Structure 1
Amino acid sequence: MSQRLPRMMLVVTGDDFGYCPRRNRGIVDCFLAGGISNVSLLVNASAAKEAADLAKRHNIPIGLHANLSEGTPVCQSLQQSSTLINQHGFFRGKMGFRQALARGELSMKQVELELRAQVRLFMELNGHLPHHMDGHQHVHVLPEVREVFAQVLSDLRIPYTRVPVEPGLHSCPWLPAHLQKFYTQVEKDALDAIPIFKRHGIRWPQVYLGLTTMGQNMSIPSLHRALSHALAAGPSTTTSSGVRGSNQPVVTAELMVHPGYPSHPKEGGCGEGPDDFSQSADRQHELNVLKDPSLLALYCQERVQLCAFRDL
């Protein structure tokens, strides 16, 4: 690494830690190779305890991937009857959750109970509070949910979250229309969440990356492009108040990634088995790119220093 000050402090977060043993192994291999610097744990996933044990063994910085859309609730009182689950006892899914929210069918009190239960389970598994807390499938920035989420983080003094507003998102013609539409809505929800997070004293890196570099869209050139956008954007209207060192010319950023070895069909998940996303060869592709020595060389060249949320 250059002796000069870094231009960027980059948190590379491996999401969905705990999803299955093969995802866990891939994420750990990626961390040991220097490709990621942080993980986000799904506490209701089938291999969550194994993941927490691996994080302890390898000293991997770990946060909570709060999950309201996949699998079953952690809070026992919500497992039999609640607005968050369908007739089979599972969360309503990425779009099902959003549709039920739009119809006014979800109890925010139950959302709060589940979020607090997931933090308690995280602490049981890891022995400490999460260093950061974000939302699986970006549920934490949705209307109403974001107020509850911010209150929980503030009450429990969890300092960092994720604000998925990505520079350059709208100049990516290779993204299919349905993804562009979904990401645009995620961005709108995230922008609306910013004043709420600020009011509660929650912090986040100045720049977010990862929507445009998922799966087969991840490559050394696409990551170089994303980093260039981040360095050009620097501190912006999405910057949290109170990011340590934010008055310095060092950009803080988070890159969301989903590496792993593809899940076996009947091994893993959050109660319903692993989904197509986790079984996809895209997981191995991301793993290979993130471990590529030329990417690590690019970080050196651009003076990008990998770190964890606790280092910001």
Structure 2
Amino acid sequence: MPAVMPQPRVMLVVTGDDFGYCPRRNQGIVDCFLAGGISNVSLLVNATAAKEAADLAKRHNIPIGLHANLSEGIPVCQSKKQVSTLINECGFFHGKIGFRQALEQGQLSMKQVELELGAQVRLFRELTGHLPYHMDGHQHVHVLPEVCEVFAQVMSDFRIPYTRVPVEPGLHSCLWLPLHLRRFYTQVEKNALDAIPVFMRYNIRWPDVYLGLTTMGQNMSVPHLQRALHHSLAAGPSSASLCSSASGSDEAVVTAELMVHPGYSSHPQEGGCGEGPDDFSQSADRQHELSVLTDPALFSLYSQERVQLCAFKDLPLLSRNK
């Protein structure tokens, strides 16, 4: 008889963000998926290569969700009746920091946020032929005050079950991050913690543990990923996910999401969401992540730690997170 595989200790969704950003990003993400390095992707529907990305997902049967974008490029919802508060004088979103500043100053219409998010969900359905099974926010805008309420409402309206809550165990002991990133990530974490009661009220779900802030770009390595996984195991399952083991006993399984950004470096002026590719996209960081995610040493680590890669659609729809 063949050996019975032990039950996993971690069901890990490895999500390749920014699918659709440019052809070279798309190719890198597909290559990473086919090599077993990622198990899920998140689509930017307002990006220049979104249609190509959706077609690639269909061709290769890649599980795909929506990377809702309110901060980079051109909106999907173009209202001719009134001036949008979501864009600057050039017609582009305000940017990662600009969006947050406009929100703090009370300059953003939440009704326009709702219309834009709804338009992006509908465009996703048009491109892929189905609704997203998960929906997160580009540059973590979905956990910001006020925005998280609208985000959760849109998810509930379209019956999208899963989102991302970027609260990463081990973040504050991660000394290799530069000070400006630590400050930004700490604020992201605070916003995410404040958003949890909102998501719970709408019965939105998310994995037990989130990983990825401490392992982006050049900070990604097999030892750093091992550290992140150990923190996730220490955090334990928050929704009491139980699987029956081969011996018939019950064992708690931690569900986790690892946010990653694999790809090949963007060519200048090729890609983006209407303004061209950003510096991160044109750097070698994307290909570095691709290399680490497909390193045999990482696969050995997964096997050793009993980590099973899966998609959001594979996670059990148990009672909402506590």
**TM-score, normalised on structure 2?**
0.93
Q: Which residue of 2 aligns with 1:304?
A: 307
Q: For 1:279-298, list aligned pairs within 5 A.
A: 279-298=282-301
Q: Which residue of 2 aligns with 1:142?
A: 144
1:152-199 per-position Cα deviation (integer Å, ceiling 9, x unaligned): 101110000000000000001111000000000000000000010001
Return the offset for 1:266: 1.2
Distance in 2 separating the partners of 1:149 and 1:81 = 21
Q: For 1:88-237, list aligned pairs within 5 A.
A: 88-236=90-238
Return the offset for 1:297: 1.2
Q: Which runs of 5+ in 1 are unaligned?
A: none
Return the offset for 1:250: 0.4
Distance in 2 separating the partners of 1:70 and 1:79 = 22
Please tell me the root mean square deviation across aligned C-alpha atoms, in Å. 1.7
Return the offset for 1:81: 2.4
Q: Which residue of 1 aligns with 2:10?
A: 8
Distance in 1 separating the partners of 2:285 and 2:63 = 24
Distance in 1 separating the partners of 2:14 and 2:142 = 19
Distance in 1 separating the partners of 2:76 and 2:82 = 11
Q: For 1:5-44, list aligned pairs within 5 A.
A: 5-44=7-46
Distance in 1 separating the partners of 2:5 and 2:141 = 40
Distance in 2 separating the partners of 1:243 and 1:117 = 34
Distance in 1 separating the partners of 2:298 and 2:81 = 44
Q: Aligned partner of 1:60: which letter? A: I
Q: Aligned partner of 1:226: which letter? A: A
Distance in 1 separating the partners of 2:276 and 2:168 = 31
Distance in 1 separating the partners of 2:295 and 2:287 = 12
Distance in 1 separating the partners of 2:208 and 2:221 = 23
Q: Which residue of 1 aligns with 2:266?
A: 263
Return the offset for 1:2: 7.1
Q: Which moved more, 1:1-10 or 1:136-145?
A: 1-10
**TM-score, normalised on structure 1?**
0.96
Taking only the aligned residue pairs, the percentage that are identical comes to: 81
Return the offset for 1:235: 2.4
Higher alpha-carbon Rg: 2
Q: Please tell me whether the aligned partners of residues 171 and 214 of structure 2 are also in contact (alpha carbons under 8 angstroms).
A: yes
Q: Aligned partner of 2:192: which letter? A: A
Distance in 2 separating the partners of 1:44 and 1:77 = 16
What is the SS of the residue equivalent to 2:16? strand
With over 3 angstroms needed to count, the CA separation of the structure-2 counterparts of 1:91 and 1:129, relative to structure 1, is: same
Q: Which residue of 1 aligns with 2:57?
A: 55
Q: Please tell me whether the aligned partners of residues 242 and 253 of structure 2 are also in contact (alpha carbons under 8 angstroms).
A: no
With over 3 angstroms needed to count, the CA separation of the structure-2 counterparts of 1:23 and 1:88, relative to structure 1, is: same
Out of 40, 44, 47, the position equivalent to 1:45 is 47
Count residues with an aligned counterpart: 308
Q: Please tell me whether the aligned partners of residues 72 and 79 of structure 1 are also in contact (alpha carbons under 8 angstroms).
A: no
1:73-129 per-position Cα deviation (integer Å, ceiling 9, x unaligned): 101217982000000000000000000000000000000000000000000000000
Distance in 1 separating the partners of 2:270 and 2:198 = 39
Q: Please tell me whether the aligned partners of residues 121 and 131 of structure 2 are also in contact (alpha carbons under 8 angstroms).
A: yes
With over 3 angstroms needed to count, the CA separation of the structure-2 counterparts of 1:289 and 1:79, relative to structure 1, is: farther
With over 3 angstroms needed to count, the CA separation of the structure-2 counterparts of 1:33 and 1:124, relative to structure 1, is: same
With over 3 angstroms needed to count, the CA separation of the structure-2 counterparts of 1:137 and 1:56, relative to structure 1, is: same
1:202-246 per-position Cα deviation (integer Å, ceiling 9, x unaligned): 00000000000001110000000000000111124xx5xx9786x
With over 3 angstroms needed to count, the CA separation of the structure-2 counterparts of 1:305 and 1:33, relative to structure 1, is: same
Q: Aligned partner of 1:121: which letter? A: L
What is the SS of the residue equivalent to 1:10? strand
Q: Please tell me whether the aligned partners of residues 80 and 89 of structure 1 are also in contact (alpha carbons under 8 angstroms).
A: no
Distance in 2 separating the partners of 1:261 and 1:79 = 40
Q: Aligned partner of 2:115: which letter? A: L
